[in-house]
Structure 1
Amino acid sequence: MGMTNTTSDFILLGLFEHTAAHLLLFVMVLTIAFSSLVGNVLMLLLIHWDPRLHTPMYFFLSQLSLMDVLLGATIVPKMSADYLTGKKSISPVGCGLQIFVSLTLGGGESFLLAAMCYDRYVAVCHPLKYHILMSWPLCQRMTLGSWLLGAADGLMQAAVTLSFPYCSAHEMDHFFCEAPTLVHLACADTSVFENVMYICCVLMLLVPLSLILTSYGLILSSVLQMRSGEARKAFATCSSHLCVVGLFYGAALFIYVRPKSYRLANHDKVVSAFYTVFTPALNPLIYSLRNSKVKGALKRWLGKCAALSHG
């Protein structure tokens, strides 16, 4: 098969076909993506606007919402334009940017969820020392570290993936550039890189996940020693976070840690759609519906907006 240089555009075959059923699915995905954008932007505005939400927990939550907004902005507009116009090509620069941003946000969210879990551990197990153990400088360092670790992983994988020569067939059975899918098109031995990529993904996912599971083991042990009322209240503060952790790590482990011998393009596309579109839409719902402070902030904000409109 002929060789080409890496300046040739890639072709994204997309998530949907041009049938009536797939058009309905496309509209549903677009609606969910728009709901995700509105929900996460609203969370950002509420956390910024309401002083009662200026705490470490909601600071981390605002960063989670920011990551979800950026991820949707990186994936959904290009996917939608490709489907509506039929022009499915993407330049190597655009492809590299999608890989970099998606891995930066995915890796960053992995460590950010671990930081949020540590916050819940301190709140439940060491409430009297909370303001000392969760100081603002520590929160800022943990957040910055999450972004930087994700960016380092994204930059490495994007740069190395695009450095390979690619065969004349540049078609990817996907709706955005994802490193595991793109590297399979390379006309070179990529086994070393794939092994390194696999190890990096395992570390980026399993190290934070092990910290989360350890923290929740300690939280559960502490909750079991409390009186029933205190235990319910303490565990309620953690249940929303557990839902988000389960959604995020379930999809990420399926995509990046599963052995390649078990990979099917259609399965990868569906799971990728789940964590790039559906999970970001669920996050603000999970945290708002199960959080009295967020619901209170929303009511105050709506009340203020109504008062201004009638003023």
Structure 2
Amino acid sequence: MLRKNTIKDSVGDRIFMLCIYLLLIIVLAAVMYPLLFIISSSFSSSRAVVSGSVWLLPVDFTTRAYAAIFNSKQIMMGYYNSIVYMVFGTMINLLFTVLIAYPLSQKHFYGRGIVMTMMMVTVFFGGGLIPDYLLVKNLGLLDTRWALWLPGAFGVFNVIVARTFFQTSIPPEMQEAAQIDGCGDTRYLVSIVLPLSKPILAVMTLFYAVGHWNAFFSALIYLRSEELFPLQYVLRNILILNATDPEMMAASTQEMRDQGFQQVLKYAVIVAASLPVLLIYPFVQRHFVKGVMIGSLKG
């Protein structure tokens, strides 16, 4: 009989791995507990939340806070605006990123080094908030959706990652063969480059989409009309300014308001605002990991 050669870990290695696992468990608990507490509080009664009875699981389970949220025009309008900003903003970001990264990836593009240097300067130096505001004002974009789209039409970091991907992952011989067959640059980009760039496009889509969904500062600076406010801006008003929609409070009884129903609403709004991103991420995780590895290892 052949004896299998097995290498046993030493006692020191086992102790080291045990310490690593314990540390990871502690970090996981530190990250997960606030999330579980917020979710449990959002499904608990106002009395339980105010008295501090909620620790890990919901107490006096109820969905009244979520019912009040979905009856609020302010929250629903914020949801609609955030979806519009995320969808169209991400499309604009991808369009500008690809149109800038692809020419910069071509070796025969004259002056690409100068263009990249000028773009890198903007990463380290910026004009500041006041010049940005004056520029948006002079362009007539104040209190419009374009004020949240055009100033951040593309990210320099994403352009660099996309350019690196185009240079290293798509063989130049493929472009030469396409040119011999009479394929122009536009047709080559649309028919060959983009289908082969799905992993990196998925990564940039996730980055841009999450950024648009979580953005509130630009809305705070450039928007004045309530019908244009995104969900995160509405959430900020509820959490910081206690500017709860009267329609949500009207959906509750006087007893619930006296016992801290507004506090329960805050937890419920946090969950409702985070849910779309949490639902989207598992579906793009595979492309996300693959795209990040491509951009890091081949850069």
The verdict on a shared fold, with TM-score over 0.5 as the criterion, is no
TM-score, structure 2 normalization: 0.28
The structure with the greater share of residues assigned to helix is 1
Query: If you compute each CA radius of gyration, which structure gives the higher value, 1 or 2?
Result: 2
TM-score, structure 1 normalization: 0.27
